[in-house]
């Protein structure tokens, strides 16, 4: 869908600024994460080598209660981490016996990171790809900003849409835009204002031109 790709891009930008980043992987291996980033033109291996990127692969089955908090605190206090990425909460949820444990622990973690001035990027996969979708657990009330990525079908092709559905402080753009991922990275196109029902996954085209669906997008 593009969640991990977005996280890679934000992390890479922070690393280039000289900040330290901690990425906790629940859903994939370090090798796949680094290979996918390289495919987007993002060289993260060198940051792993110099210690500015703390890349940790976690087995949910071996994660004890409170261990995630300990790892994050160690990165912030010991390595001056400024951005924490959890990829993903879906994988972490599988390690817990109850959803309520996840909510309580994430509230504690996010409160701590907010007090430390650390940016936290949480990834959460929805159930389903096209049509009706459902989140395994609602974490939106804990977040300052929420970005939604969706697949939708049009013209016999599977396409992607991106939108910001929440920003706690100040206004935000409410358009739904097409985006694409390629070897050149991620690009965002014009608002998909000629469609109705994009968030259903099977929208209706109400415009006169299909130029919005051409693979030409501005960064």
Q: Based on the domain organization, do 110 and 160 belong to the same domain?
A: no
User: What per-residue confidence (pLDDT) applies to 128?
Assistant: 55
pLDDT at 45 over 80: yes
Q: How far is CA 76 from CA 48, 81, 84, 212, in A?
A: 16, 5, 9, 43
Render pLDDT for 115-164 as a digit per residue (tens, 0 to 9). Answer: 999 999 999 877 555 555 556 567 788 889 999 888 888 777 888 889 99
Domain-ending residue, one of 67, 88, 122:
122
pTM of the model: 0.83
Q: Which domain holds residue 49?
A: 3-122
The residue behind tokens 């430390």 is 116
pLDDT one-digit tens code per residue, 179-208 = 888 877 788 888 888 888 887 777 788 776
Residues 12, 105, single domain; the answer is yes
Residue 177 lies in a domain: yes
CB 120 within 8 A of CB 175: no
> What is the percent of the chain where pLDDT is above 70?
85
108 and 20, same structural domain? yes
C-alpha 166, offset from chain centre:
14
- For residue 130, tell me if it sits in a domain: no
Statement: residue 49 has pLDDT above 80 = yes
Closest Cα to residue 52, out of 26, 13, 87, 91?
A: 13
Same domain (yes/no): 184, 81: no
Looking at the fold, whether 8 and 109 belong to one and the same domain comes out as yes
34 domain residue, yes or no: yes
Report the CATH number at residue 75: 3.40.50.300
Compute φ and ψ for 213, nearest 5 degrees: -95, -5
Do 18 and 115 lie in one domain? The reply is: yes
In a domain, 99, yes or no: yes
How many domains is the chain built from? 2
User: Would 135 be classed as within a structural domain?
Assistant: no
> Considering the domain boundaries, does residue 207 fall inside one?
yes
Percent of the chain with pLDDT over 90: 40
């Amino acid at each position: 869908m593009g969640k991990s790709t977005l996280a890679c891009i934000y992390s890479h930008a922070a690393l280039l600024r000289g900040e330290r980043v901690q990425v906790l992987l629940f859903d994939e291996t370090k090798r796949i994460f680094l290979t996918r980033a390289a495919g987007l033109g993002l060289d993260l291996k060198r940051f792993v080598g110099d210690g500015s990127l703390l890349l940790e692969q976690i087995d949910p089955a071996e994660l004890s209660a409170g261990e995630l908090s300990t790892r994050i605190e160690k990165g912030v206090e010991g390595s001056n981490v400024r951005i924490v990425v959890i990829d993903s909460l879906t994988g972490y949820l599988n390690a817990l016996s109850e959803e309520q444990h996840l909510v309580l622990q994430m509230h504690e973690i996010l409160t701590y990171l907010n007090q430390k001035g650390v940016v936290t990027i949480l990834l959460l996969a929805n159930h389903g790809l096209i049509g009706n979708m459902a989140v395994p657990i609602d974490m939106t009330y804990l977040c300052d900003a929420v970005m939604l990525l969706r697949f939708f079908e049009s013209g016999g092709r599977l396409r992607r849409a991106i939108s910001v559905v929440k920003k706690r402080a100040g206004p935000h753009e409410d358009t739904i835009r097409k985006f694409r991922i390629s070897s050149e990275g991620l690009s965002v196109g014009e608002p998909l204002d000629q469609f109705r029902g994009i968030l259903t996954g099977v929208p209706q085209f109400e415009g006169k031109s299909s130029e919005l669906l051409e693979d030409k997008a501005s960064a």
